Amino acid sequence: QPLPAEAAEQLFYKKAFPKVGRCPSGLEGWCRNILTRCEGLPLGIIEIGQYLSTRERTESEWKKLHDSLGSELKRSGRLSNTMRVLSVSYDDLPYHLKYCFLYLSIFPEDYPVKRRRLIRLWIAEGFIIEETGKEVEDIGEEYLKELIERSLIQVSELDFDGKPRRCRVHNLMHKIILSRSIEEKFCTAVFTGSEERNFDGLMTRRLSIQNSGGGLLNLSCRNFPKARTIFTFGAPYSSIADIPSSLKLLRVLHLEGASLETFPKEIAELLLLKYLCLRNTNIKSIHKSLGNLRHLETLDLKQTGVTELPKEILNLDNLRHLLVYSYDNIQNYTLFDSVKGFEVSAKVMTPYFQKLQKLSFIKVNRHNKMIQWLGNLTQLRKLGIIDLPREEGSNLCHSIQMLQNLRSLNVTSLKEEPLDLQAISYPPPLLQRLYLKGQLDKLPIWTSSLHDLVRIHLKWSRLTASNNPIELLQDLPNLLELQLLDA
């Protein structure tokens, strides 16, 4: 467990400056920087402090040591004992958790990973052991909780309800799992501008391409015929040549932030693909060939220019998470029409997407059949809707009553038309988060029965004093957050 800041500082000074037990004048800044890298881990502080106690005490020397600390310690063997102790924690893991934990080696050091995204990736990789009566997402939550309780994964950001929002691994532990990943041929990390080529492409299963600020790194995917996973982190799309024509075994393709202007049609050849992330790219449309990816479970098109999906998307009957929306300006999230969603270019909506868990944000407009179709998505847990006209409110209410597994509901009216959501007799009993954006004559009466509700946002509701929402919400036992904006 990490030490408190004061205790960590005392231990570090005791080991780095054993004769005086305090930091010499002029080195205070570098001491703080090095301590930050230790993150309070006692073993790391001891080993690093003992190593630094043998070095010259000048600013230039300590700057050099700080900048190359990892390689210096590895070369001197100073971290071997720490690594051995930390490795025991890894070796003690049940088999099903080892791969889940090793997966953190794909991400760069100090990279905060969103909890839900990590679990979706575990699912796509097949790491979650299915259990009767449980959704794989819930099992993934249990896996993550156990890894956090074992202090192998750290929570880097909490959500408003105290649950982990983002997580990461300690810098020293990251070195261990990266080393283990290489040993077990689990993951290969390469860096733009790097001259290193000491990896076996023929045996690589997972490839992590990271931007180290250097020049372009050209990799031919023909050199990685058995790759199942490709991640890019700030690396130009052009750093990967021939993608993805030769990657028939690929399950996960994560190209967030890549310099893409158009949808690569070759992706449709990846028939085993389960997870596709093109988030934060400049693509504006999706080719109908996407419908070939019948095994796809997650399609992440957040913060792209995509506003319409081809009707072939309905072929993806294994889809669990469909994320297609963007914010015009994240700083102006308070604007009424700041969220842009998508619509499906299908004239007939039949009961597809029976496994869908998350759908955001679908543009219903005056598409009556679309609203009725939503009622078929009985496994849905999170639903985001925009452009709802007033006259379709009752149809939406009927569909929502069918979604008894729903945990999060987000509804925005069409061009500030009133929201009419009164006609729900049996609201989803597990609903935890409710976001309503648009004019309300009064808060729906059924909100008072949402005993699991922890968050509610009301924006542009323009309720009168005689329809004070507090009267309906004040007795909800689990409500933690109420946000009002022009409500």
Question: Which residue in 187, 278, 274 sits closest to 227, CA to CA?
Answer: 187
pLDDT at site 8: 84
Q: Which two tokens stand for residue 75?
A: 């070369």
Same domain? For 125 and 73 the reply is: no
Whether omega for the bond prior to residue 244 falls within 30 degrees of 0, making it cis, is yes
CA 107, CA 168: separation in Å to the nearest integer? 9
Confidence of residue 330 (pLDDT cuts 50, 70, 90): low
Q: Is residue 60 exposed (0-12), middle (13-18) or buried (19+ Cβ within 10 Å)?
A: exposed
Same domain? For 32 and 64 the reply is: yes
Say if 321 falls within a structural domain.
no
pLDDT at site 136: 94
Same domain? For 27 and 53 the reply is: yes
Same domain? For 59 and 94 the reply is: no
Same domain? For 44 and 96 the reply is: no
pLDDT at site 72: 47
pLDDT in tens, 281-307: 999 999 999 999 999 999 999 999 999
Higher pLDDT, 146 or 365: 146
Confidence of residue 485 (pLDDT cuts 50, 70, 90): confident
CATH of the domain at 151: 1.10.10.10
Same domain? For 29 and 45 the reply is: yes
Same domain? For 98 and 54 the reply is: no
Structural domain for 47, as ranges: 5-78
Same domain? For 30 and 97 the reply is: no
Say if 204 falls within a structural domain.
no
CA 291, CA 311: separation in Å to the nearest integer? 8
pLDDT in tens, 332-351: 556 677 788 998 876 656 66
Domain boundary among 171, 201, 224: 171
Say if 157 falls within a structural domain.
yes
Instruction: Give per-residue burial for 240-275: e unless 16+ CB within 10 Å, then b.
Output: beebbebbebbbbbbbbbbebeebbeebbbbeebbb
Confidence of residue 145 (pLDDT cuts 50, 70, 90): very high
Number of domains making up the chain: 2
CA 433, CA 481: separation in Å to the nearest integer? 10
pLDDT in tens, 2-12: 778 888 888 88
452 to each of 161, 428, 429, how far by Cα in Å? 12, 10, 7
Same domain? For 31 and 66 the reply is: yes
Say if 348 falls within a structural domain.
no
pLDDT at site 323: 95
Same domain? For 99 and 162 the reply is: yes
Q: Is residue 76's pLDDT more than 90?
A: no
Q: Kindly compute the dihedral angle of the four CA atoms of residues 349, 355, 360, 365, in this order, to the nearest 10 degrees.
A: 20
Say if 230 falls within a structural domain.
no
Say if 52 falls within a structural domain.
yes
pLDDT at site 307: 92
Say if 244 falls within a structural domain.
no
Q: Is residue 147's pLDDT more than 50?
A: yes
* End-to-end CA gap in the chain: 45
Domain boundary among 152, 171, 190: 171
What residue type is assigned to position 393 of the chain? G
pLDDT in tens, 463-479: 887 788 888 899 899 99
Same domain? For 99 and 38 the reply is: no
Q: Is residue 13's pLDDT more than 60?
A: yes
Say if 46 falls within a structural domain.
yes
Higher pLDDT, 238 or 232: 232
Same domain? For 15 and 71 the reply is: yes
Domain boundary among 20, 48, 78: 78
CA 294, CA 469: separation in Å to the nearest integer? 45
